[in-house]
Structure 1
């Protein structure tokens, strides 16, 4: 299943901003959730930079990405409690794949939702696979206005998380990253079920 992200996989971690982003995400998540003993889904896991940080804490992690080449890079990390899955998150996958046999305590998505064709439908699927009391946390580039191509406004994140049924929603801009195209702010959306 060739994917446009495959071509980036081998050199993904060579960009220092990628590792810095993953560290900031991990730091934010650690402040929000006690990860010890949790069943985690890392949606859009890429090469597994975040999985690598979560693995010593979580009970187990399903690492989902549509890029087989990204998952191959994750496999090289040899994380015992991480189950890699090459696929897109859909109701069909959730119904049929053994990795989704139980509910998740935590679902994380680091810089992935802004690239989805339908953010709202995907968040609805995420809500359905979270256990009661579970939390969904995602980080994406902050779009300063509705017309920007990549990322989300705080209002859009709030609207989508609230509309699928999360009982508690919070939105913040916890960090910014220096990239080749300038400094960019990151929006974090948290939905608690």
Structure 2
């Protein structure tokens, strides 16, 4: 799988859709979360388009992707407060890698979750990596059926976030993007981790 993404890396940002997606995501993110001084995990960061936008606001960003070629493109941006990690997100990695010694205030995933094979396990792990009152926010192409190869349904996003333990879950369709293949809706799933015990 990583090799497939490696092939896309050199031309990733030449696709206009990619830039529009990242900008739209950033605008939604800044409306939801005050990023000033935060510690952020950009899960499935790709070439770092979102990390680049968040970098001036956040204290620190761990930018993670399975594709070494994507991370090489991120490295070219020379973002001082961004630490790249080439790996799969797993409990072993989270327990052993120095970058995961502290909890995150925000975890973001931009056009990633629809491609993750073990999504429930991954989101449940993300929940454990968040500070109390932290947020996990993901954006994915919105699809009508779970049978479709790329993207997520609103129902699947909601059920995965709830099953992971998030006390407040909201899934919406904040924007659509015009692509050469047509106009596609993007869903946004927001899971908030509460410091208050569930009553």
User: Shorter-chain TM-score: which interval?
Assistant: over 0.9
Q: Does 1:163 align with 2:163?
A: yes
How many residues are aligned here? 193
Residues 102-142 of structure 1: CA deviation (Å, up to 9, x unaligned): 00000000000100111111001100100100000000000
Counterpart for residue 172 of structure 2? 172
Counterpart for residue 108 of structure 1? 108
Counterpart Cα distance in 1 of 2:72 and 2:23: 21
1:149 offset after TM fit, Å? 1.8
Structure 2 residues without counterparts, runs of 5 or longer: 194-199
Moved over 2 A (4+): none
Q: Does 1:29 align with 2:55?
A: no
Instruction: Evaluate the alpha carbon distance shift between residue 183 and residue 145 of structure 1 in structure 2; reply closer, same or farther with a 3 A threshold.
Output: same
1:180 offset after TM fit, Å? 2.1
Q: Does 1:98 align with 2:110?
A: no
Counterpart for residue 78 of structure 1? 78
Counterpart for residue 126 of structure 2? 126
Structure 1 residues without counterparts, runs of 5 or longer: none
- After superposition, where does 1:134-173 map in structure 2 within 5 Å? 134-173=134-173
The alignment partner of 2:69 has SS state of helix
Normalising by structure 2, we get a TM-score of 0.95
Instruction: Evaluate the alpha carbon distance shift between residue 109 and residue 2 of structure 1 in structure 2; reply closer, same or farther with a 3 A threshold.
Output: closer
Instruction: Evaluate the alpha carbon distance shift between residue 27 and residue 2 of structure 1 in structure 2; reply closer, same or farther with a 3 A threshold.
Output: closer
Counterpart for residue 61 of structure 2? 61
1:2 offset after TM fit, Å? 5.4
Counterpart for residue 117 of structure 1? 117
The alignment partner of 1:27 has SS state of helix
Counterpart Cα distance in 2 of 1:146 and 1:138: 17
The alignment partner of 2:8 has SS state of helix
Counterpart Cα distance in 1 of 2:133 and 2:3: 34
1:183 offset after TM fit, Å? 0.9
Counterpart Cα distance in 1 of 2:177 and 2:89: 27
Deviates more, 1:34-43 or 1:147-156: 147-156
The alignment partner of 1:3 has SS state of helix
- After superposition, where does 1:1-12 map in structure 2 within 5 Å? 3-12=3-12
Instruction: Evaluate the alpha carbon distance shift between residue 2 and residue 133 of structure 1 in structure 2; reply closer, same or farther with a 3 A threshold.
Output: closer
1:164 offset after TM fit, Å? 1.0
